[in-house]
Chains A and B, each alone.
Chain A
């Protein structure tokens, strides 16, 4: 009996001790769990130096790049597939890809691509002219739902606007594209990662499931996809460029929360992360094991002014608002100073950018004077719509909206901040239901047409011209520029277009942001591309 009672006492004491330690205060439960563990978790195995783990905020929705317009997909697929032409390492100039050379006829209606010989798809089948024809036929016979980005070529086969008349194989290694009419950004479109050439045999084999079983010619082969968790690629040993890729394995991990992703990087669980908060830049810089990488800007964040809504239909009012927004404060406060103030609807990295345009300065007196001229010296009340999501060009829309609201109040404009979920937001914007609204755009193909025509031409009302801005003079210039193939003349046309837009002021161009990435110090040759997705072909560890 005595013995029993001691046992109970011991039991009781230990129970008490455990409970005291653990109840409510869950941190301690990990302490007891963790103490016995050995302290290494990340660098186990000697494989680290040829395996790169890339941490990002969201998962891909498809690994067949043509079936989506969503950037997370391309980050992966650009390593699996290759395009006929490539962009430059860090710009959108045109370089050889799967095609070594392109001949263009004088009337710009015939493009002849001379394909690289001896290239094989990951499934062992040959890359050749027939494969290119197969891919383009597959896409042009589809529709917006299946292959949304194919509309870059003016629509689908059934559509009037479709610019490609025919794609045909001349011989084993030559493909000819016949166009119905010239399309100036044609080659830039061809280089978009959406148009990565896929193995026809694999498309036939997997059918609808090809989006989960990608087969291309790229430096990495697909291994595994665990949704919302990781995508694993491995080196393509038969890759046509000798000695490349440098890495043996590539793993894309989804870590939704930016702060948690940075923790994972600091711990060495991942080697590269995108979506670094501007406010965390100093943390990374002060860590000797990490580095900050800046992505060249290819975007525009803007405040749209619906030109059909009163009183914004008056140009003077729109100009006044342009004078009333303090871009510098916004950039310093929300972009960590890491963004260019915008004066045109496209970033300076795009050819045809008009640097001669004089910015609307932050000048409240001028704004007031313009409002007075418009007969609105007492100001007015209007809704200001702020995006509900973070975008590279607008990381903190709600807070930026508050700054704008404050600025506008100084010239007597009472702006009421509104928001709604992202899908509805885009829908309302498209239908022109907004007065003043915040939005932005990231370029698809590095061509001015992709900014100015897409966002501000009258043809784009109902799609991306959310400001409902219509100017016939501008329209004529943009249409001319679409078929003008002399680059200098074309640039002049776009410069003129930017002058018209500046004068009409359908937007307040706000910023061109510089998205930040962070990486372990020993990651080398990581060249972030302005389009937002880059091949990791040459990346290696020191």
Chain B
């Protein structure tokens, strides 16, 4: 246990150089791409003089390394800086976007994992059956589905034609939800508003399903592949020879050994989704981190781009760490000593 804790501590400590490297790379890239924020701020009304003035006010006329160290200095003090576009402090601004994306991601990944893993298992169990073929063809379609098209089709079928679900957004704006944590599923329950809870769920169904499509398909394919591998092994044959129920053989003995690569994929996919799914967020008008960053990039809002990517990178690394730690729980043979 102590070994595990030291391992965790060491991993967290090793985040620092990773994130520092991240800031440097991001900083270099966004300063290398053309386009001046001053030009964007002034738009078509820009004059040479005005642009020079604004550039100076934003501190963009300083050498890049001074800008970088100013940025790092603020970062160490927990200050992500101010957005050039809205002038607001990013520390405060980014929170609602992150939580909106997190809520969507958690629900989407839940759908993807439950369905993806089970479909993969059953496909492997009854491999070469019609279920296997159908599931894998659907998974292939799922991996290659253009989200943009899928989202609009969903809206057309389930909102316009069937009138079951709202098209866009997180709430009914005419009867708004009061945000506490900004996880609307939690907030509505905290307030004991079942009607609002149902509204929040309805708003989540289509975007999370659209978002779940690709990870679900990837997880299903990965689970099937590793399960097939494991189920060929000797100990499975032994287990079956002992007369164990097939269900236990599959869901307990095989799955435990097959789940490690699946966990890795789940971790990666969760990280990806948390980085913001721009397309899903755009079509369903979900005020998430993906759109926040997209706007920032269009506007050359350097501080927001830097901070946003930094936070996403940090989340990504943390999720990887969690996945690594989960390995130990799943497979006692794995030890993190040295």
Contact = CB atoms under 8 A, between A and B. Distances in A.
B165 A12 contact: no
A427 B39 CA distance: 7
A151 B48 contact: no
A144 interface: yes
A255 interface: yes
Given A29-B115, A423-B36, A423-B39, 15 more contacts: A19-B118, A26-B150, A26-B209, A27-B153, A30-B205, A37-B198, A39-B164, A228-B287, A229-B285, A254-B285, A263-B160, A269-B167, A423-B300, A426-B43, A463-B45
Contacts of A34: 158, 162, 164-165, 202, 205
Interface stretch (B14-22, B172-180, B260-268, B326-334): B172-180
B152 A260 contact: yes
A226 B135 contact: no
B283 to A, nearest CB: 5
Interface string B31-45: 000111111111111
B95 to A, nearest CB: 11
B124 interface: no
Given A23-B138, A41-B202, A463 B46 contact: yes
Interface string B210-231: 1011001100100000000000
B295 interface: yes
A263 B175 contact: no
Interface string B41-56: 1111111111001100
Nearest to A33: B205
A44 B172 contact: yes
Contacts of B118: 15, 18-19
A264 B173 CA distance: 12
B54 A263 contact: no
B202 to A, nearest CB: 6
A260 B158 contact: no
B201 to A, nearest CB: 8
Interface of B: 34-50, 53-54, 57-58, 85-88, 93, 96-97, 111, 115-116, 118-119, 122, 131, 134-135, 137-142, 150-160, 162-170, 172-176, 179, 198-199, 201-202, 205-206, 209-210, 212-213, 216-217, 220, 245, 247, 282-285, 287, 291-292, 295, 298-300
Contacts of B159: 263, 267
A241 B202 CA distance: 41
Contacts of B158: 27, 30-31, 34
A293 B220 CA distance: 48
A69 B87 contact: no
Interface in A227-274: 227-230, 232, 251, 253-257, 259-261, 263-264, 266-267, 269
16 contacts: A23-B138, A24-B141, A26-B213, A29-B115, A37-B202, A41-B202, A45-B174, A62-B87, A144-B49, A145-B50, A148-B50, A260-B151, A260-B152, A266-B160, A423-B34, A463-B47
A329 interface: no
Given A148-B45, A263-B160, A424 B35 contact: yes
Contact of B97 (A15, A51, A211, A228): A228
A462 interface: yes
A255 B168 contact: yes
A257 B282 contact: yes
B282 A267 contact: no
Contact of B166 (A143, A230, A269): A269
Nearest to A40: B163
B53 A257 contact: no
A61 B282 contact: no
A41 B165 CA distance: 7
B175 A44 contact: yes
B42 A148 contact: yes
B35 A423 contact: yes
A232 B172 CA distance: 13
Given A24-B216, A27-B209, A421-B35, A151 B45 contact: yes
A262 B78 CA distance: 42
Contacts of A62: 86-87
Contacts of A170: none
A79 interface: no
When A and B form their complex, which 5 residue pairs have the shortest distance between CB atoms, in order from nearest? A24-B138, A423-B35, A23-B119, A144-B50, A34-B164
A145 B41 contact: yes
A423 B166 contact: no
Contacts of A70: 43
A24 B111 CA distance: 11
A420 B169 contact: no
A416 interface: no
A212 interface: yes
Contacts of A37: 164-165, 198, 202
A263 B46 contact: no
A5 interface: yes
A42 interface: yes
Contact of B152 (A45, A208, A263, A266): A263
A430 interface: yes
A427 B175 CA distance: 44
A35 interface: yes
A423 B292 CA distance: 18
B174 A26 contact: no
Nearest to B130: A20
Contacts of A16: 122, 131
A467 interface: no
Interface in A15-67: 15-16, 18-20, 22-27, 29-31, 33-35, 37, 39, 41-42, 44-45, 47-48, 51, 53, 59, 61-62
Nearest to B47: A463
A144 B172 contact: no
Contacts of B216: 23-24, 26
Given A24-B142, A26-B142, A420 B174 contact: no
Contacts of A260: 151-152, 155, 167-168, 282-285
Contacts of A208: 87
B174 A53 contact: yes
A463 B48 CA distance: 7
A25 B160 CA distance: 20
A43 to B, nearest CB: 8
A147 to B, nearest CB: 11
Nearest to A12: B247
A11 B37 CA distance: 59
B245 A8 contact: yes
A39 B163 contact: yes
A53 B173 contact: yes
Interface string A121-158: 00000000000000000000001110011010000000
B157 A27 contact: yes
Nearest to A425: B35
A24 B135 contact: yes
Contacts of A61: 85-86
B283 A427 contact: no
A145 B44 contact: no
A144 B96 CA distance: 31
A23 B58 contact: no
A530 B328 CA distance: 65
A143 B174 CA distance: 40
Given A30-B206, A255-B285, A423-B40, A151 B50 contact: yes
A420 B36 CA distance: 13
A376 B174 CA distance: 64
B44 A426 contact: yes
